[in-house]
Structure 1
Amino acid sequence: MDETKALPLISIIVPVYNVKDYVEKCLDSICGQSYTNLEIIVMDDGSTDGSGELCDAYALKDQRVKVIHRDNRGVSTVRNEGLDIAQGEYIGFVDGDDWVDGDMYEFLYELLIVNEADISVCSHYIERPNRRKIKYVSDEVLNLTPRDAIRLLVKDDIVRNYLWDKLFKRELFDGLRFPQNTCFEDMAVMYRVFYRARKVVMKGQPKYHYMMRTDSLIGSKYDPKKEYQMFLAVYEQNRFILEKGIWDETPVFVIRCGIHLIDHIMLVHPSSVTEEIIKNVLVIIRQYDEIKWRQIGIACAVKRWAIYKNLPVYRLVYRFVRSILKSRNHRF
């Protein structure tokens, strides 16, 4: 990196909530970045385990670290406040229980500048106790129009609906904030941010370490209400993309996501909550009954037909088949 000229400020927003065992590794990795012109905004969301005090210690050691303490209001609220505070020309996000490679922001900045893009994207590691998985690796540089980038975002494979493996021009968030009281706030805003960009560039080098914790909000015991929130986020994403004329194949992903959710609910005890979720999901996917089996796949099409035909019978058959396969994905 050329150090002979001043580098623009990058603001990194770090939401922290009861991650005492992880936050030091997180902040060490950010403070130790090879790209040094950073504003590190640590949003302590009412931690009760001492995480906030550890963050304060970093602020005393490194003047780039700003710690804001708030009552517990949720990750969307503190991310929004972080955006309001941020002074940087560019914005990055790191979760308080994750960490980044020492050159991640240098990598993302140079990728963005060289390719004259508004958003740069890297790949990531999925970290579990004693196990690491790389989601995607490639040396190819993908220069994407917003339409092409959004299509990849919908597929959620090469380009994922995450905040933290990306660097954004700050103005992309002007007037745009994260919705509150939802588990999938990344997905709810990512396509809108991509739509505002002139170009998105990706190089599939893993630089971010995503810690998969069983005690986290997403990694904890299966909750159909959380998966329903993800389904609604997919549906809203689909509506936006259809409205903007970006891609007419997005209903396929709504149907698949809805069938997937219903399958998971088949494996838990029926309740008024689960039955209401199923009812709402069916109302939505029935909007796209014109989508043929060739588009959604024969397995999904058969499931859709069986669910429409007789849900109680489908529940019995599905549970029986899964018991034979000895599925351990969800508890009955």
Structure 2
Amino acid sequence: MNNMEVLPLISIIIPVYNVNGYLEKCLHSVCEQTYKNLEIIVVDDGSTDGSGEICDLFAETDSRIKVIHQVNGGQSSARNKGLAIARGEYIGFVDSDDWIDSDMYEFLYRLLTTNNADVAACAHYIETETETEVRYSSGTFTSFSSDEAIRALIIDRRMRNYIWDKLFRRQAFSGIQFPENQIFEDMAVCYRVFHKVRRIVMQDCPKYHYLQREGSTTLDKQYDPQKEYLWFLRIYEQVKFIQDNGIWYKAPCYVHKYGMHAINKIIMLPSSPLLDSIIKDIIGKMQEFTNVRWPQVSILFLLKRCLVYRHLGVYRLVKTFLKSGRKMPQT
């Protein structure tokens, strides 16, 4: 960027917890941004593997870094601490096991200011230990109103419920905090932020590298029905908000779609009081939205839903036989 240009301060909040094998790459990528006027707030959330010491070493070499050490309270607690002390006109987030392209914040700042927007979003790479995947890299530009962006979050394709691939005007977080001691906290925040602003812009240029690693809070190879249930509850919360604010009449169908998706997976596990109560609650929340009919969902979907509502045991039996590849007994 033009060094003579007076640029506003961007505060980047990085929660850190036991990521000593990834942290240096993350911090280097942030410190080497082409956008230089940064406040880099690194919140060490009670790390026990030396990550806190790595943060301090980086702070000694770059005066833009502020390190906060706190007792472990979770990622939301660390992000909230960063928000509380951030001085920037703009706010960004980076997770400490990820990394970003050197021009990410220059790109997002230009995207936001050129289009007089309040939030700017880019695409991202999905990184594993062996490969890199990118889904949206066409360069397509889209400008959303607040309501349009919230609808896009529910659809969950291009505009995703992630906090880290975006740049926000500081005012967008006024009165908003991340829910603590919960997972899928980004899903609880994005739509509320979008509701407070006027314009959100997005361009499909990947700039953020999201690492899927074993041991992360979002990647677990072993299926967890309670995590599935919490994901569904986040969708339910979003749809209730959308309905209460008159944003999109089609949103309730996503409670039904995600609800059936969760039931289809949970029902294949051995029955237990906990799982039965989860399925019962999902069905109850689906039944709160009575106007989800064809053509919003398919006829086959409606038949499956009817069976779940009225004959859950029969539905479980059918799913079990279909999965096992066995034929249903002749009557």
Interval containing the TM-score (normalised by the shorter chain): over 0.9
Specify the SS of the correspondent of 2:195.
helix
Aligned pairs for 1:166-181 (under 5 A) are 166-181=166-181
Aligned pairs for 1:226-237 (under 5 A) are 226-237=227-238
Aligned to 2:100: 100
What letter is aligned with 2:246?
G
> Residue 318 of structure 1: CA displacement?
1.2
1:293 equivalent in alignment to 2:294: yes
- State the distance in 2 between where 1:63 and 1:270 align: 56
Aligned to 1:33: 33
Aligned to 1:267: 268
Deviations 1:35-83 (A, max 9, x none): 1111111111111111111111111111111111111111111111110
The question of whether the paired residues in 1 share the 8 Å contact of 2:152 and 2:158 is answered with: yes
Unaligned runs of 5+ in 2: 327-331
> Residue 223 of structure 1: CA displacement?
1.5
Specify the SS of the correspondent of 1:287.
coil
- State the distance in 1 between where 2:325 and 2:79 align: 44
Identity score, percent: 51
> Residue 20 of structure 1: CA displacement?
1.2
The question of whether the paired residues in 1 share the 8 Å contact of 2:104 and 2:208 is answered with: yes
- State the distance in 2 between where 1:171 and 1:197 align: 9
> Residue 213 of structure 1: CA displacement?
1.2
Aligned to 2:119: 119
Task: State the superposition RMSD in angstroms.
Answer: 1.4
Moved more, 26-35 or 179-188: 179-188
Aligned to 2:305: 304
> Residue 87 of structure 1: CA displacement?
0.6
Moved more, 218-227 or 26-35: 218-227
> Residue 121 of structure 1: CA displacement?
0.5
Moved more, 289-298 or 28-37: 289-298
Specify the SS of the correspondent of 2:12.
strand
Aligned to 1:329: none
Alignment: residue pair count: 325
- State the distance in 1 between where 2:28 and 2:241 align: 39
Specify the SS of the correspondent of 2:183.
coil
Aligned to 2:160: 160
Specify the SS of the correspondent of 2:296.
helix
Specify the SS of the correspondent of 1:288.
coil
Aligned to 1:254: 255
- State the distance in 1 between where 2:57 and 2:207 align: 26
- State the distance in 2 between where 1:262 and 1:181 align: 25
- TM-score (structure 1 length as normaliser): 0.95
Aligned to 2:329: none
Runs of 4+, deviation exceeding 4 Å: none
Unaligned runs of 5+ in 1: 326-332
Deviations 1:139-171 (A, max 9, x none): 222111111111111101010000000000001
- State the distance in 2 between where 1:22 and 1:267 align: 37
- CA distance 1:276–1:39, change in 2 (3 Å): same
- State the distance in 2 between where 1:185 and 1:15 align: 13
- TM-score (structure 2 length as normaliser): 0.95
> Residue 224 of structure 1: CA displacement?
1.4
> Residue 324 of structure 1: CA displacement?
3.5
